[in-house]
Amino acid sequence: MKIVIKGLEVWYDSIQALRDASLEINEGELTFIIGPNGAGKSTLLKTIALIIKPKVGVIYIDGKALSKFSLKELSKILAYVDYQISKSLPSTVFEFLLTARYPHQNMLTFSMSQEDLEIVDKISKQLNISHLLDRKLDQLSSGELQRVLIARAFIQGSKVLLLDEPSAFLDLKYKLEILDLVKKFTKINRSICIIAIHDLYLASLYADKVVIMSNGEIVAVGRPREIFREDLLEKVYGVKTHILDINGRIAVIPLEPLNKMEL
Amino acid sequence: MISMAIPLYERRLKRFFYLLILFIILVFIVSISSLSIGPAMLDPIKVLQALAFKLLGRDVGGLIDVVAKLRLARTLASIFCGASLALAGLLMQTITRNPLADPYIFGLSSTALTALALGIILAPDLMIQRVYVVTISFIGAMIGFTLTLLLSKLGGGSDIAMVLAGIAVASLFGGVSHILLYIVQSMTKVPYMYLLMGTVSTTLWGDVQLLIPLIIVPITLSLALFKPLNAYLYGDEFAKQLGFNPASIRIFTASISAFLTATTIAFIGVVGFIGLVAPHIARFFVGIDHKFSIPTTIFIGALLTLIADIIVKAISIFIGGLGELPLGVVTAVIGAPFLSYLVIKRMRR
């Protein structure tokens, strides 16, 4: 499986959010999108998820334009995770997770198959949310909810996983555990995973490929070592940084902004 | 490896079936009591006997035949209109993702009644046929729903904004329909005022025969939609990702809900709050999954309406006033405190 993005342009009214974005992503690859606020990370992710319609440009999955797929076909291919979920009518975690199997079922099948339940079971265990199944969504902490939402994407079993800030709200342990799991999931299923993230250290730890964006443009694409360079980060973020190499892991230490805010 | 999901699922399934059986039995028992209660009290056992005989095609004869036949229409109207209103409420709560939704609170009932009254004034000949009555009140209900949603969107689109918009629409068209029905009454010399607060006491056997299929069809349709409705609950994006088009779900479900509301109004008039209360009770018992909550809501709606109608009958027997209270008065007395409770719960959060 392969995703090819060609010349995407997205406009929010008169503001251009994506400029001529082109990108290629291969299966089994964990791709991280980084960049400052308003760089277009989420917009790129949402455009791939078909939530936003691009004004110009095409996204191909295995050579077929995304817009040519039906909603039903897409539901088996794409899963997009962000943290906006309606909780106004009280649903339990279990009820929520069961809906993620719908793409694999007939619309009128009344009962859940043993196989579907086993998948829910296995993934709830992996993400350590088994004990939350009977809880209401609005009774979860933000970290718990985040795990539930990621579990939902896994349960849906899509080949393309799009995660918007999956590590926000998670504590140190879960940040690492969940990204570990996402990486394993991507490798084992030969799937594609694109993650928009602010945490540069996590990106350097797990990324196979890093896409750095600024002002709606893709500035550079490459391996973590090619992207986490003091000059590039300074240009994109406007911050002086120092790159540390700890046992082969790259850590970006922010030093000071180029322009200080005046009181 | 200990499984959590499988026993949890089986427990839920079992619980649902037990509750369904319980509610069916309850509806049956309350229906028999409803048939027995009236100005002439009947022995419930004899009513049961007469029903059984009727089903077997044997002649029952005597007073019980006449009385039961009149009362059977009333009881069946309570069951089916209650089920219809309850389901209309559930569907509205789902598509607006608002636990405070109800056909009466959101103004659909009043606009449907206004349309109906206008129809009688403008084309009295057409309105002799129930089909036209249902059609015109359906159009009225759809307009009311659209008005409320537009108005609430202007007001920010929050849950409470929706309720306030609904109350504005309901009050305006409640007033307009009252005036129009007053004109209708002076034209036709038939008392139409009962439509304002609803009653099942005027329902005839012929009405029931038309009413039942008109309500069973939308019930079946909504049951078939349980998966899109479940997916829709969590947001438009979730529905889309699971392969359902949220806009189509919204329009289709809103139409079913408006149709159910319109049908009950065409037959028994405006009865509020059943659509608000029944889905909450159902969700409390079986959760949010529509494959469980739709059937449960239907039975609870039927049960509540039957009980409300028994209260109507009991009051008229004990007080012995002129005629009976409207059904909508009793449901309002039960339902409005429940609305207050929901509003308080919501605003505190």
Task: Say yes or no for a CB contact (<8 Å) between A117 and B5.
Answer: yes
B174 lies in some domain: no
Q: Are A28 and A159 in contact (CB under 8 A)?
A: no
Q: Are B256 and B222 in contact (CB under 8 A)?
A: yes
Q: What pLDDT, on a 0 to 100 scale, did the predictor assign at position A58?
A: 94
User: In this predicted model, what pLDDT tens digit does every residue of A219-239 receive, in sequence order?
Assistant: 999 999 999 999 999 999 999
- In the block, tokens 């889905």 appear at B279
Distance CA A82, CA A182 (A): 15
The residue range of the domain holding B46 is: 8-101+180-348
Q: What are the CA-CA distances from residue A231 to residues A193, A241, B69 (Å)?
A: 27, 8, 90
The partner residue sitting opposite A86, judged by closest CB among B1, B6, B233, is: B233
Hey, which bits of B235-289 come out as E strands?
none
- Measured in whole angstroms, how far is the alpha carbon of residue B306 from the centre of its chain? 12
Sequence length of chain A is: 263
Q: Are A75 and A103 in contact (CB under 8 A)?
A: yes
Tokens of B260: 């159910």
Is it the case that residue B68 has pLDDT exceeding 80?
A: no
B146 lies in some domain: no
The partner residue sitting opposite B243, judged by closest CB among A72, A112, A124, is: A72
The partner residue sitting opposite A102, judged by closest CB among B9, B231, B237, is: B231
Mean pLDDT of A67-79: 90
pLDDT band at B2 (very low <50, low <70, confident <90, very high): low
Mutate to test the interface with B, among A42, A95, A132 (most CBs of B within 10 A): A95
Distance CA B11, CA B18 (A): 11
Residue type present at position A137: L
pLDDT band at A83 (very low <50, low <70, confident <90, very high): confident
CA-nearest residue to B2 within chain A is: A121
Tokens of A50: 């078909």
A 10 A CB-CB count for B250 gives: 17
Distance CA A236, CA A255 (A): 15
Q: Are A122 and B19 in contact (CB under 8 A)?
A: no
Is it the case that residue B219 has pLDDT exceeding 90?
A: yes
To 5 degrees, how large is the angle CA B248–CA B250–CA B251? Answer: 70
Task: Say yes or no for a CB contact (<8 Å) between A78 and B98.
Answer: no
B94 lies in some domain: yes
User: In this predicted model, what pLDDT tens digit does every residue of A239-261 receive, in sequence order?
Assistant: 999 999 888 888 999 998 888 87
Q: What is the DSSP letter of A229?
A: -
Shortest Cα–Cα distance, B262 to chain A (Å): 25
Shortest Cα–Cα distance, B334 to chain A (Å): 22
Hey, which bits of chain A come out as E strands?
2-12, 15-26, 30-34, 56-61, 64-65, 78-81, 160-164, 192-196, 209-214, 217-222, 239-246, 249-257
Tell me if residue B349 falls in helix, strand or coil.
coil
User: In this predicted model, what pLDDT tens digit does every residue of A177-195 receive, in sequence order?
Assistant: 889 989 998 999 899 999 9
pLDDT band at B349 (very low <50, low <70, confident <90, very high): low
Q: What pLDDT, on a 0 to 100 scale, did the predictor assign at position B42?
A: 81
Query: Using a CB-CB distance cutoff of 8 angstroms, which residues of chain A are in contact with residue B241?
Result: 49, 74-75, 78-80, 156
CA-nearest residue to B289 within chain A is: A95
Q: What pLDDT, on a 0 to 100 scale, did the predictor assign at position B201?
A: 84
Q: What are the CA-CA distances from residue B259 to residues A239, B262, B300 (Å)?
A: 61, 5, 20
Q: Are A243 and A230 in contact (CB under 8 A)?
A: yes
The residues of B whose Cβ lies within 8 A of any Cβ of A are 1, 3-6, 8-9, 13, 93-94, 97-99, 159, 224, 227-228, 230-231, 233-235, 237-238, 240-245, 283, 287-289, 291
Each domain of chain A, given as residue ranges in start order, spans: 2-257
B28 lies in some domain: yes
A 10 A CB-CB count for B64 gives: 20
What is the number of domains present in chain B?
Answer: 1
CATH number of the domain at B289, please.
1.10.3470.10
Q: What pLDDT, on a 0 to 100 scale, did the predictor assign at position B82?
A: 97
Beta-carbon contacts of A133 under 8 Å, excluding residues fewer than 6 positions away, are A92, A93, A94, A97, A124, B4, B5, B8
Beta-carbon contacts of B24 under 8 Å, excluding residues fewer than 6 positions away, are B299
Distance CA B298, CA B311 (A): 20
**Half-sphere exposure in the Cβ direction for B276 (13 Å, CA):** 24
Residue type present at position A174: Y
Out of A163-172, A247-256, B26-35, B50-59, which region has the weakest mean confidence (pLDDT)? B50-59
Q: What pLDDT, on a 0 to 100 scale, did the predictor assign at position A90?
A: 85
Per-chain mean pLDDT for chain A: 91
Query: Using a CB-CB distance cutoff of 8 angstroms, which residues of chain A are in contact with residue B93?
Result: 89
User: In this predicted model, what pLDDT tens digit does every residue of B95-153 receive, in sequence order?
Assistant: 999 999 999 999 999 999 999 999 999 988 888 888 899 999 999 999 999 999 999 99
- Measured in whole angstroms, how far is the alpha carbon of residue B276 from the centre of its chain? 9
Q: What pLDDT, on a 0 to 100 scale, did the predictor assign at position B28?
A: 95
Q: How many beta-carbon pairs below 8 A join chains A and B?
A: 107
Tell me if residue A192 falls in helix, strand or coil.
strand
Q: What pLDDT, on a 0 to 100 scale, did the predictor assign at position B75?
A: 94
Shortest Cα–Cα distance, B76 to chain A (Å): 29
**Half-sphere exposure in the Cβ direction for B221 (13 Å, CA):** 19
Q: What pLDDT, on a 0 to 100 scale, did the predictor assign at position B274?
A: 96
Report ipTM (2 d.p.). 0.89
Query: Using a CB-CB distance cutoff of 8 angstroms, which residues of chain B are in contact with residue A133?
Result: 4-5, 8
Shortest Cα–Cα distance, B79 to chain A (Å): 26
Backbone angles phi, psi at B57, to 5 degrees: 85, 10
Task: Say yes or no for a CB contact (<8 Å) between A98 and B289.
Answer: yes
Query: Using a CB-CB distance cutoff of 8 angstroms, which residues of chain B are in contact with residue A76?
Result: 243
pLDDT band at B1 (very low <50, low <70, confident <90, very high): low
Helices A142-156 + A114-126 axis angle, to 10: 140
Classify domain A2-257 by CATH architecture.
3-Layer(aba) Sandwich (3.40)
Distance CA B137, CA A142 (A): 46
Residue type present at position B167: I
